[in-house]
Structure 1
Amino acid sequence: MKRAWKISASTHSELLCLQWSSRNPTALKPPRLLARPRSPARGFSRGICGTTASSSDGIRDIMELFVDKFSRAAENRAALGEGVHARVLELRDELVQLNERDEIVRVLDEKADPLLLSADGLAFVELLKQLDSWPHQALEVFFWKRKLQERGISMTSEEYVKGITVAGRIKDVDLALELFTEATSKSLRATSTYNALMGAYMYNGLAGKCQKLFQELKGDADCSPSIVTYNILISVFGRLMLVDHMEAAFQEVECLNLAPNAVTYNNLISGYLTAWMWDHMERTFQTMKASPVKPNMTTYLLMLRGYAHSGNLEKMEETYELVKDHVNENDVALIRAMICAYCRSSIMDRVRKIETLLGLIPENGYRPWLNVLLIKVYAQEDWLDKMENSIDEAFEQKTSVNAASVMRAIVGSYFRCNALDKLVSFVKRAECAGWRICRSLYHCKMVMYGSQQRLAEMESVLDEMESFNFDRTKKTFIILYYAYLSSGKKNKAEQIKGLMCKHGYGLPHDAVSS
């Protein structure tokens, strides 16, 4: 299928059009924590590279809302003992090779008892954590343990937390709610189970349900919100660009004397990034650096994305140097964002820097919008071979360019490089491929034909224009007039003067070429 792409097109994929306050009467009604002017950047229009932080980081960081993975992993190993932990890993390695429920149940029946049946549930919870990357297998393991309750083997609240989390990750919100209700019926409801269900709602874009559950938690006499709760809430508001609500949630954290952690600050930064509030993003980053909580890898990746989108090349390059190895190996989307930043800039060596970053993108990493940007950059810099290579790739990928600015840049490059035959070939291909056809394509051909005194071919361009319903304008006649005059065709030049007067354009020497 042919795809139409414009330079100014938005590429955001996760902006949710929810009117929080009107639909949720229980929503927070916060004061403004920071004075700031209204900015058009808070709207929904974005540049071509404007993917939000939430769109690329949501899945990767969902578990970070709940625990500091590295420190908690060490604690779990210490609590379990190295021997038990090793057995959990061994069982995980066997389970991830299986896809059928019967096979998973058979392995668990044979090898899990008594490993996963301890009353504290630590080994079972650890197994589910080890299966984070295999949610379907994790869910089958949870179902296996859940069924054992029929034999009098009870479950813990943390086991339900993991089950709710896994259900959310596979987008089965009904199951997540069922498990939460089941845990409640067994007197296992806790702040952590609330957090797990809120996280499931957030993960599936159900912001209203997440907010409603938060209000229920605040009204529960036996539970109270934790910093994890507010991390989820801040993330939800940030994704919706409800900055006032996000800031109010953070203010509640301070009022309740809860200690913000790295996830708290990262979610605030992500929210400001999504709303394109660069000053607030930077201010939060500096506050985090001055606090006992120090920036982590996620923080620097968010800041790198923010600097790229805001065009702050100096800080973008400084931050990239800090996380270069990670980005080069794991984050092609960030590399594309940096390329986009260079494309929008006017620095002298932008093409060299773009070429360096392009070398880090895998061969199958084609993106239509990026290819169109590269065509424009190469055209502006008169890198004719590179421009044509990108144009060829666009034709092969059936990418349709609809931005007039890109077409004008291409024409200008061909003109400056005096590449008439290449321009003629490009125009024919663009016509056939459904690219944006503009009058300047034909005017440029006429000027170049005229400069080479190829008058018959210049005149044939008029027929091409007519076939695409382009009328002859003042500029068209001026091009014809000076072409005939420079070729010694004074009679034809006089005829053009007459036509210009007839159409009310005035005499050629009064016209100004645009």
Structure 2
Amino acid sequence: MASSLFIPTQSLLPTREFFVALPRMLPRHYSLVIHAAKRSTPNATPPVHRPSITSIVKTLTAGHVSVVQALQRQAPYMRQADWFALLAALGKQSKWTLILETFRWMQEQKWYRLDNGFHSKLIVTMGKAKQLRMAVWFFKEVKRNGHRPDTSLYNALITAHLQAEDKRIGFAKALQLFEEMKTKANCKPDLVTYNILLRGSAQVRDILQVERFFEEMEVEKIHPNLISYNGVIGAYGKAGDLVQMEKTLFTMRILKHIKPDTVTSNTLIESYGYGRDFVKMEQVFKSMTAAKNKQTSRPDAKTYNILMASYARLGEVGKMEWSCSRMEAANFKLNLRSYEILMTGYGEVGAIASMSECFYQMLQAGMQPQKSTLNAMLRAYCKHNCFEEAEELLNDALGWQTRPRTSSYLILLRAYAKERRSSDVEMLTERMAKVGIAPCAATFLEALESFSLSCGYEEKLTESAAEAQSDGEDEEDAFDAF
């Protein structure tokens, strides 16, 4: 008798629900085998190799292969976000020539598409790095490629100008761009524009401009948000108008029903600190630490740094150290700014040994000293006439990753001038020339010697003026390469 073939009907076939429940029905070791088989499917897409931005930067800076070769090798694995990260990483190391070479190479590729958002990020990055001319160059590059700048590009360029060494010059240029935006069809100022300008007004303590922008926003039916109010609160705080600052806070919280955030509280703490109203400053801090909801205004690392800085300015070393201990207790690690504040506070009261110990702790934490670190220590040494220590520190700083700039030498020059140490001034100016500090600024050195030694106007030589000159020379060097 021939065997009959059993053909299951549709109702007897296993359903999808059966296969879903199967791992739960089998013993545990069978279930694990099934899941492992799923993970090791032969047709699964292999993971895409994502290049390390750090390794690419090392390859480009080493110079063993050409920029074109290095970029062509990594291009198939790069996304747009990777290209921006690469340019930003080069910017952090001040490799401006490499930035331009990389960007030029990108423009020549078939896959490159001009993107205003990408250019906006580049412009802001260049502004933060104090490379204003490069920021302007990227802005004009959009026009040269036949595209019209939009609001986001103008916002980025305004932000870059507000990062200038001379804040007033930068703010004046930002206002020019703001008026230019109003004449363009697709570049009308938006909420972001006004928020940027409100923050810029706070930097230069121009309260009239703050009030003007707020009025314009009302006319244009642009409703202020939390960032807008934070900018206004910061402007009144920096100007020392604590009464108007508190009125703005009341309007924001009670009338507009906008909850303050950590930025708001940090601004209040900083403003009360500058106004030496430590009672209100500490009240704001206590309200932050007492907040149970994590979405409300909670202290961050900047909060503790602001507290420490407020006490350090007045030489309140005990309270400064208390703030530092609270920061560590809140599981925030001290950052570069924290160490610089501590060194400034110790230097203010002449605790040179504590300042030096703090500096070595910073090095042990793996942090590279910056120009601001050097200047903070030099001011302390010069304030207490520790000129030998200052000279030794300046010599050591020549081996740092961030070499001394004009402002560092100027601190020591002004101190020598104040003490009428003319021979030391001459020796230091010679050292400046040898290490290439302002080598073409003979008029600057002559003015320094004339003001400091003959007229006693050492305070007229500000650090910002010297730094602007030095930064200008650096920008010239970056563009001369092209």
What TM-score results when the alignment is normalised by the length of structure 1?
0.48
Q: 2:305 is matched by which residue type in structure 1?
A: L
Q: 1:242 to 1:287 in 2, by over 3 A?
A: same
CA distance in 1, matches of 2:336, 2:234: 26
Provide the rounded CA distance (Å) in 1 between the counterparts of 2:256 and 2:361.
46
Q: 2:416 aligns with which of 398, 404, 413?
A: 398
Question: 1:101 touches 1:140 (CA, 8 Å); kept in 2?
Answer: no
- Aligned-residue offset at 1:99: 6.0
Deviation at 1:91, TM superposition (A): 3.9
Instruction: Output the CA distance in 2 between the equivalents of 1:196 and 1:363.
Output: 31
Distance 1:104 1:351 in 2: 46
CA distance in 1, matches of 2:204, 2:143: 24
Give the superposition deviation at 1:332.
Answer: 5.9
- 112, 115, 126: which one aligns with 2:121: 126
Does residue 1:219 correspond to 2:213, yes or no? no
Pairing of 1:274-353 with structure 2 (within 5 A): 274-291=274-291, 292-309=296-313, 313-321=317-325, 329-330=336-337, 333-339=340-346, 353=354
Distance (Å, rounded) in 1 between the aligned partners of 2:95 and 2:118: 20
2:144, 2:201 → 1: CA distance?
25
Q: Using the TM superposition, give the Cα deviation of residue 299 of structure 1 relative to its aligned residue in structure 2, in angstroms.
A: 0.8
Q: Following the alignment from structure 2 to structure 1, what is the Cα–Cα distance between the partners of residues 337 and 272?
A: 24
Q: Name the CA shift for 1:89/1:134 in 2 (closer, same or farther; >3 Å).
A: farther
The structural deviation recorded for 1:396 is 12
Query: Residue 366 of structure 1 aligns to a residue in which SS?
Result: helix
- Select 1:97's aligned residue among 70, 84, 95: 95
CA contact (8 A) 2:202 2:235 kept: yes
2:229 pairs with 1:230? yes
- Distance (whole Å) between structure 1 residues aligned to residue 272 and residue 225 of structure 2: 23
Matched residue type, 1:181: E
Equivalent position of 2:24 in the other structure: none
Deviates more, 1:181-190 or 1:308-317: 308-317
In structure 2, the residue matched to 1:268 is 268
Provide the secondary structure at the position in 2 that maps to 1:367: helix
Letter in 2 for 1:133: A
Match of residue 367, structure 1, among 379, 393, 406: 379
Contact 1:169–1:200 under 8 Å retained in 2:
no
Q: Contact (CA 8 Å) 1:339, 1:357: kept in 2 or not?
A: no
Distance 1:245 1:272 in 2: 13
Q: Pick the aligned partner of 2:108 from 107, 110, 121.
A: 110
Deviation, structure 1 residue 142? 1.8
Deviations 1:299-351 (A, max 9, x none): 110111223345655442232235579657445651344215655xxxxxx78
Deviations 1:340-387 (A, max 9, x none): 5655xxxxxx78746644767977732268643989xxxxxxxxxxxx
Equivalent residue, structure 2, for 1:186: 185
Distance 1:242 1:116 in 2: 48
Q: One-letter code of the match for 1:117? A: L
Contact between 1:191 and 1:225, CA under 8 Å: does it hold in 2?
yes
Task: Provide the rounded CA distance (Å) in 1 between the counterparts of 2:177 and 2:105.
Answer: 24
Q: Once the 2 structures are TM-superposed, how far is the Cα of residue 114 of structure 1 from its aligned partner?
A: 5.9
Q: Aligned-residue CA RMSD in angstroms?
A: 4.1
CA 1:91/1:339 → structure 2, altered by over 3 Å: closer, same or farther? closer
* SS, match of residue 96 in structure 2: coil
Which structure 2 residues correspond to residues 376-387 of structure 1 after superposition, within 5 A? none
Give, as a single letter, the amino acid of the residue that structure 2 aligns with 1:236: A
Distance 1:100 1:396, change over 3 A: closer
Residues 265 and 115 of structure 1, relative CA distance in 2, 3 Å threshold: farther
Give the corresponding residue for 1:250.
Answer: 249
Partner SS, residue 224 of structure 1 = coil
Q: Which has the higher contact order (CA 8 A, sep 6+)?
A: 1
Write the distance in 1 (CA, Å) between the matches of 2:82 and 2:274. Answer: 41
Native 8 Å contact 1:300 1:319 kept in 2 = yes
- Match for 2:272: what amino acid? Y
In 2: Cα distance, 1:189 partner to 1:351 partner: 51
Give the letter aligned to residue 236 of structure 2.
F
Give distance in 2, aligned partners of 1:289 and 1:271: 18
Q: 2:414 and 2:176 mapped to 1: Cα distance?
A: 50
Q: Is the 8 A contact 1:202 1:232 kept in 2?
A: yes
1:243 partner amino acid: L
The secondary structure found in structure 1 opposite 2:311 is helix
The separation in 1 between residues aligned to 2:170 and 2:413, in whole angstroms, is 41
CA displacement 1:212-249 (0-9 Å, x = unmatched): 2222223322x111111111111111111110011111
Amino acid at match of 1:367: R
SS state at 2:259 partner: coil
For residues 39-50 of structure 1, the aligned pairs below 5 Å read none
2:153 paired residue among 156, 159, 182:
159
Quote the offset at 1:296 in angstroms: 1.2
CA deviation profile, 1:274-302 (whole Å, cap 9, x unmatched): 11110011111112223422111111101
- Contact 1:165–1:199 under 8 Å retained in 2: no
What's the % identity of the aligned pairs? 18
Which residue number in structure 1 is paired with residue 57 of structure 2? Answer: none
Provide the secondary structure at the position in 1 that maps to 2:378: coil
Give TM-score scaled by structure 2 length: 0.51
Q: CA deviation at 1:166?
A: 0.9
Superposition deviation, residue 270 in structure 1? 1.0
Residue type of the alignment partner of 1:339: Y
Q: Considering only CA atoms, is the larger Rg found in Structure 1 or Structure 2? A: 1
Change (3 A) 1:191 1:116: farther
The answer for the alignment partner of 2:141 in structure 1 is 144
Q: Would the alpha carbon gap of residues 108 and 398 (structure 1) be closer, same or farther in structure 2, given more than 3 Å must change?
A: same
When residues 329 and 164 of structure 1 are mapped into structure 2, their CA distance, relative to the original with a 3 A threshold, is closer
TM-superposed CA distance for 1:269, in Å, is: 1.0
Report how far residue 98 of structure 1 moved. Answer: 3.4
> Is 1:84 equivalent to 2:80 in the alignment?
yes
Cα separation, partners in 2 of 1:89 and 1:321, compared to 1, 3 Å: same
Question: Quick one: structure 1 residues 341 and 372, their matched pair in 2 at CA, closer, same or farther if it must change by over 3 Å?
Answer: closer
- Can you give the 5+ residue segments of structure 1 that lack an aligned partner in the other structure? 1-80, 344-349, 376-393, 403-432, 434-514
- Once the two structures are superposed, residues 95-128 of structure 1 have per-residue CA deviations (whole angstroms, 9 ceiling, x without a partner) of 75336999798556436x765624xx43333333
In structure 1, what is the equivalent of residue 240 of structure 2? 241
